[in-house]
Structures are given as C-alpha cells and as structure tokens.
Amino acid sequence: MLTFIMWLITLFKRPFLVGVCTFFIGFIPPVLAENLSIIQSNSLAYFIEKVWRDSPDVQAAEFSIKVAWAREEGADQPLYNPNLILDAERSDVNTALVGFNQTLDWSDRGDAQRLVANKQRLMAQATLAQVKKSVAVETLTALATYETAKQMQALGLRRTELMQGFIETVKQRQFAGDMGALEGALAQVTYSEALMKQAAMDSQVAEAEANLQRVTGLVDYAWPVLPKALSTPLEVVEFDRLKQLPELVRLRHQIAAAKAQISVVDSTTRAAPTVGVRAGREGSDTLLGLSLEIPLFVRNDFKSGVRAASHEAMVAEQQYQAAYRRAQAQLKSSLGRYQNTTRAWNVWLTEGQEAQREQEQVLDQMWQAGELSATDYLIQAKQSIETQKAATELVGEVWQSAIVWLDASGQLGKWLGLALSVPVETQNIGE
C-alpha cells in the first residue's frame, strides 16, 4: 500500500516542475537580424494598411493633400482678370464707348504665390507620411503591449494549474503521513494567491485589447502576431537619418513656404499698374483712348507686412532647429534603450535560460529524493516562475524599445515592408 502511495506522489509531483520548465519551450522569443530586409509577416503589413484605411487622421491628411493640390492649381492661373467697360450717354451728342482694363503683375506676385502653394502641397504630403508613421507606431506599441499581456496571462494560467497540481501532491503526501497540516494550508494559500494574480492578468489582457481596439478602430478582429525578427541595434548613432524623417521634411518645407511668403507680401509694396483701352463714337467722331492707373503708396506702404512675414520665416527656422534637437535626443536615447534591452535579452538567452534549466533539474532531483520540504520546494518553484515572468516582461520591453528606435531612426517603414518615407520630390526643397 505504501509503495502505491509513493507511486501516486511521484505521479502528481512531476507535472508541477515539468510544467514550469516547458513554459518557454512554446514561447518563441524575438531574434536579432543584421539585415533589415527580412521578409516580415504579410498579415502584419496588411493589418497596418487596414488601420491606415480606417484611420480618420490618415484620411484627413489625404484630404489635406487634395486641398493643397487644388490651391496649387489655382495659384498657377493668371493673377488678374481683365475688366470690361461699357459706357453710353444720350445728349445732344450721343456717346458710346467700349473697352477693357487689365492689371499687370509687374512684381511677379503670381510666381511667388505659386511657389508658396507648391511648398504647402509638399508640406501636406510630408504630413501624410508623418501621420501614417505615428499611427503605425501607436498601433505596434498597442499590439506589443497586448502580446505581452497575453504571454503573462498564459504564464499566470500555467502557474494556477501548477499550484492546483501542487495541492493535490501535498494532499497525497499528507495521506501518506509525510506532511502536516501546515504544508497543506500553505499550498492552499499559494493556490488562492495564484488565482488572484490570474484574475489581475486577465484584466490586463482585456485592458490591452480595449486599447488596441481604440487605437485601430477595429473590433472582434483577429489580431496579427508581431514578426519574430528584429533588427540588430547599431553601435553608433547615425544622425544623417534624421533628415529623412517626415516631421523634419515637413518643417523644412514650412521654412521654404515662409520665405516664399515674404516675396508674396513684398509684392504688395510694389505698384501693379492697370492699363486700359477704349474705343467708341461721339456723334459722328470715332474715339480711341488709353489709360494708365498706378496706385500711390502714400498712406500705407505695407512694409509692416513684409517685416511680419520675415519674422514668421525666422520662427519656422527656429521650430525646425528645436525639432531637430528633439529628434537627435530621441534617436540617441532610443538607441541606448534598445541596446540595453537587447543586451539583457541576449544574456538571458545565452546564460540565464540555461542556468535556470539546470536549477530546475537540480530542484526536481532534490524534490524526488526527499531532500526538500514542501515549503522550500514551493519557494524555489515560485522563484522559477517569477524569473520567467521577468523574462516575459523583458521581451515586451525589447519590443517597445525596438519600435521607438525604428521610429526615431526612420527605419520603421523598411522593417514593415511598407512605404512610410516621404517622396523624393517632397524631400528635395531646393535649398
């Protein structure tokens, strides 16, 4: 009878530690790759494109481009239309005149307005790329948070199942007289604690999915998984990449538009003469006439508008410098964070994971040999689970830091395999 009981004990106790050891077997960690051109998950690219199509922010940016195109087409038209003149008079001598006036753009105001409209259209295109990038980053961040929460939920579920198995094992040993009531109470308390933690993790998953639905606007969607390939962090910061960031491209075009606006305002300080031609009859006589109108800038020379436009261009330049500094700091800090998290993850993969397996094997052997009490065994097993929890959290941190770095370095589109960069025409501002 005693032999049968010991066989049951062995049967119940082994799944506990085996379950702890095998949790990470089914968990595929992200791997680092030197080549960013690795084929990524098609479902993820499709998912991001669907989010773009349904995003009000992206749609608003696309309509802004249409607005800018219409304004550029309008700016390409002649600035002034002619005025038709009809004049008739009945008296002793009947008079009839017909003619037209035409204001001339001698100050090249039309060319300046066309340049402003062109830069504003390029700004709108850069803004669309910026909005798409922002939406993609927010979506990927929410997706990474959701996946981490799901992994933590799976770990919590495994812990609950293992604690339940541990209770059964303790009961079997109590029946055999090898354990007292204290061990049984400890096992029950530990199981209750696991249930509470499991409930908290379930709530975290629900919260993460709700945030993902808010970001994407999708409900009851089969969320894609993040690809298993991450790019290797660079050894040095490459600030040259910053010039291609959509937000900085947009600000450079804003500077160009502000400078072109100076020419537009300055053209209002120069006279735009109006010439007129008239022909008609006065009685039996033929009338021909020419007229010239030149505005006199006596009461208002409009110079204050030029000064204001110049200051606005300076404001745009300073805004660009401030944004460039922020981009530099963001790139440097994100690279440092990504390097630190990937370094820690590599240490875990190469050293920590194997050391934990060895620890679990030794723990299993000591448990089977009866060299550990239930309390000591439970403490060691819980520590093993906590280590796996920390590793799962580290994976989530690796993903979060990778997304921030890919965004800050302008490589997110390349990693996704989607067009997130600004068109070449939009990048070349002719400076």
DSSP secondary structure of 61-75: HHHHHHHHHHHHHHH
Span 219-238, pLDDT tens digits: 888 898 887 767 677 767 77
Q: Which residues sit opposite 292 in a β-bridge?
A: 275
pTM of structure = 0.80
Q: Is residue 419 a contact partner of residue 48, using CB atoms and an 8 Å limit?
A: no
pLDDT higher than 90, residue 429:
no
Phi, psi of 125 (to 5 degrees): -65, -40
Q: Is residue 279 a contact partner of residue 99, using CB atoms and an 8 Å limit?
A: yes
Span 97-107, pLDDT tens digits: 898 898 888 88
User: Which pLDDT belongs to residue 3?
Assistant: 37
User: Which pLDDT belongs to residue 368?
Assistant: 65
Q: Is residue 193 a contact partner of residue 220, using CB atoms and an 8 Å limit?
A: no
In the structure encoding, which two tokens stand for residue 353, read together? 């994971």
Q: Which residues sit opposite 100 in a β-bridge?
A: 84, 277
Span 333-382, pLDDT tens digits: 999 999 899 888 888 878 776 777 777 778 777 766 667 777 777 777 77
- Give the chain's domain count: 1
Q: Which residues form the domain of 135?
A: 2-427
DSSP secondary structure of 114-133: HHHHHHHHHHHHHHHHHHHH
User: Which pLDDT belongs to residue 93?
Assistant: 79
Q: Is residue 212 a contact partner of residue 146, using CB atoms and an 8 Å limit?
A: yes
Span 261-300, pLDDT tens digits: 998 888 888 888 889 998 888 777 788 888 888 888 878 8
| Rounded Cα distance, 192 and 194, in Å | 5
Span 15-63, pLDDT tens digits: 444 444 444 333 445 555 544 444 344 588 899 999 999 999 999 999 9
Taking CA atoms, 284 is separated from 47, 205, 280, 395, in Å, by: 82, 96, 10, 99
In the structure encoding, which two tokens stand for residue 72, read together? 């550029």
Radius of gyration (Cα) for the chain, nearest Å? Answer: 37
DSSP state of 244: G
Kindly indicate the confidence band of residue 423, based on its pLDDT and cuts at 50, 70 and 90: low
46-78 exposure pattern, b = at least 16 Cβ within 10 A, e = fewer: ebbeebbeebeebeebbebbeebeebbeebeee
**Contacting residues for 279 by C-beta, under 8 A, at least 6 apart:** 97, 98, 99, 286, 287, 288, 289
For the chain, give the mean pLDDT: 81
| Rounded Cα distance, 245 and 412, in Å | 11
For residue 360, what is the domain's CATH number? Answer: 1.20.1600.10
